[in-house]
A and B are shown apart, each in its own frame.
Chain A
Amino acid sequence: MKKLPYDVPDGYFGSLQGRLASVCGDRPVRNRVLYAGVAACLAIAVVCGFLFGGGNRAADADYLYGDGGLAVSGLSADEVYEEFLYSDLIPETDPDLFFYDESAEYYTDGTDEAGAGNDTLMIDDL
């Protein structure tokens, strides 16, 4: 082995063996304590999850599917479902189409019935 260009402090290798030999007394005990701590934390987390997690899920389900959510929003059940239905049906690309009724007749406000005058649309008999 080639010698590296470094020195070591005086008596380093003499004391090294004593220091390293003490390693075998410490570490496994520390590991056992660490593992026991982690296991205890996990057990507590599982028990807490079982006790409190189930209750929260029941409340969430009641809010979503029961009457709890409707009561909070201040709307009747029919109003809520109607709002949900319409908001879902309005096309994103051309939202005005939602208000256009094919059965209604549209006239321009002008002299010409073909629509060459005023741009304002008048809706008759809606």
Chain B
Amino acid sequence: MNDSEIYALYVSGDCEKAFNEIVKKYSERLYWHIRSFACSHQDADDILQDTFVKIWNALPSFRGEARLFTWIWRIATNQVLNHIRHERLRNFLTPVSEARPYLETLEADPYFNGDDAQKRLLAAIEKLPPKQRMVFVMRYFEELEYKDISEIMHSSVGSLKASYHHAYMKIKKEISGDS
């Protein structure tokens, strides 16, 4: 079922069926979108559930002016940005002796299956400012078009390209500095 069919289903009054179609179509892809930013599978699962709760509650305000896909991604992106802010605040308030570097967190994650290069790439991405990180992940890992990212983040294509370029240069510098 495509987005316009789901929306038509919702407008016809079958809200639960429309929501279940959204879950069926997008849950796995959204999980991987969120997983790029979450420190653990558990965090990603929590953010994903919160995202779907928000989608369900916000569905009555969806008027079909934006595409369903970008609207859903925008909700998920806001949830992720909130999560990153909370994480940074929690790390700031944690005593230095208890703070754990990201690489250690990655190594302790039982669901991480990457090699050393991937570990360094993820650690470099983690150091980016939240919005730059968001643009880089959506473009590099999810391979979204700039036009889609611009609808999701409400930014111009030009500024997104600049953000991606800055992020790319920072990551390159970080990785080459490590080795």
Contacts and interface: CB of A to CB of B under 8 A. Distances in A.
29 contacts: A1-B32, A1-B141, A1-B143, A2-B142, A2-B143, A4-B32, A5-B113, A5-B115, A5-B118, A6-B35, A6-B111, A6-B113, A8-B31, A8-B41, A13-B28, A16-B28, A17-B20, A17-B27, A19-B49, A20-B23, A20-B27, A20-B52, A21-B19, A21-B23, A23-B49, A23-B56, A24-B16, A27-B56, A28-B56
B38 to A, nearest CB: 10
A24 B56 CA distance: 6
Contact of A16 (B27, B115, B141): B27
A83 interface: no
Contacts of B115: 5
Contacts, number: 70
Secondary structure class of chain B's binding surface, majority of residues: helix
Given A9-B41, A16-B27, A17-B24, A24 B15 contact: yes
Given A2-B143, A5-B113, A13-B28, A23 B41 contact: no
Nearest to A5: B114
A19 B118 CA distance: 31
Contacts of B77: none
A16 B114 contact: no
Interface in A19-55: 19-21, 23-24, 27-28, 31
A4 B36 contact: yes
Give 8 closest A-B pairs by Cβ, nearest first.
A5-B114, A20-B23, A5-B118, A7-B111, A20-B52, A2-B141, A24-B19, A24-B56
Interface string B142-173: 11000000000000000000000000000000
